[in-house]
Structure 1
Amino acid sequence: MDLYQEIILEHSKRPLHAGLREPFDAEVHHVNPTCGDEVTLRVHVSGEGQSAVVADVSYDASGCSISTAATSVLAVEVIGHGVKEALASYLAMKSMLTSKGVDPGDEEQIGDGVAFAGVAKYPARVKCALLGWMAFTDALTQAGVDISATSTATPASATSDNDTTRNAITHNAMEDS
């Protein structure tokens, strides 16, 4: 077993920041209909505008090890960081996962997220790895954060054929509130 497999297994068996916590500014629920993964994710943002910070991310995830582990990595990578930096991590993760194996990922930007580089070769699994990240960006929007300025700076590789991932993942953010 290589180091990346160990990282994914560790985050899957012992997901960090799991369990829904308060306070929170938004809660969303996303489902991957392809494999049945589900995540309910809460985000708490401190401050406003460009100086806003992701104060907390908590979640309840059920599904495959890739989905659970990727959501755990997400929480580790964004909590305590500025929203702009957190969204840059999302874009870097999405770019790597939708590159079909071309982008090895940048450990400085996505930390343990580089362990998921091999997932990019399996399109059905990309949706699993992006589920928590998509929920995170949705939760930021629900919390009133304008993510449009950052999301327009999407790296070219992030707009590949797999950019339909968002459309394939259904969500009901407000229905559960």
Structure 2
Amino acid sequence: MLLPETVAKQIIADHQRRPRHTGALDGVPGVTLDNPGCGDQVTVWADVQGGRIGQLTFSGKGCAISQSSASLMTVALTGKTLPEARALAGQFRAMVMGDAEGTPELGDLLALAGVSRLHARRKCALLPWRALEQALDTPDR
């Protein structure tokens, strides 16, 4: 499933200009990852309580793709259970890698479906998601 190109561009631009859920979470360790090929950097904080993502935030610098992907991720996954979050992350990864088409469950994340045609930008879109995976894989989760 694809969004019209103009809608996808509007969503990406909106999340780049007005990122959601930004800043560190007190008492929650962040996971920082870099994309040395382009200079993108993102730190993700995931506050998980009772198997559910209570708060999910990020900070970073980089291109519109990496920063909007991080913002869209925080919106999509806040409040989800860990299995729900991991399932949505898997769907997003498959879409970005071109292995599957996006599904309606991805919501506004579908705006990044076009990245699958831009091999160099896949790493940008997946950078915050890789940081999230590491954050969720800490032993206390």
TM-score > 0.5 by shorter chain: yes
Q: CA RMSD in A?
A: 1.3
Equivalents in 2 of 1:4, 1:107: separation in Å?
Answer: 14
Equivalents in 2 of 1:45, 1:103: separation in Å?
Answer: 29
User: Residues 128-162 of structure 1: CA distance to partner in whole angstroms, max 9, x if unpaired?
Assistant: 000000000101112533xxxxxxxxxxxxxxxxx
Q: Which residue of 2 aligns with 1:74?
A: 73
Deviation at 1:18, TM superposition (A): 1.1
Larger radius of gyration: 1
Deviation at 1:58, TM superposition (A): 1.3
Equivalents in 1 of 2:140, 2:61: separation in Å?
Answer: 27
1:9 paired to 2:13: yes
Q: Which residue of 2 aligns with 1:31?
A: 34
Counterpart AA for 1:74: M
Instruction: Detail structure 1 runs of 4+ shifted over 3 Å in the superposition.
Output: none
TM-score norm. by structure 1 comes to 0.74
1:43–1:56 contact (8 Å) kept in structure 2: yes
1:131 paired to 2:127: yes
| Gaps in structure 2 of 5+ consecutive residues | none
Counterpart AA for 1:76: V
Q: Which residue of 2 aligns with 1:118?
A: 114
TM-score norm. by structure 2 comes to 0.92
User: Residues 18-45 of structure 1: CA distance to partner in whole angstroms, max 9, x if unpaired?
Assistant: 1112242x31110011111001111110
Equivalents in 1 of 2:10, 2:86: separation in Å?
Answer: 26
User: Residues 85-120 of structure 1: CA distance to partner in whole angstroms, max 9, x if unpaired?
Assistant: 000110000000111xx6331121x22110011000
1:97 paired to 2:96: yes
| Gaps in structure 1 of 5+ consecutive residues | 146-177
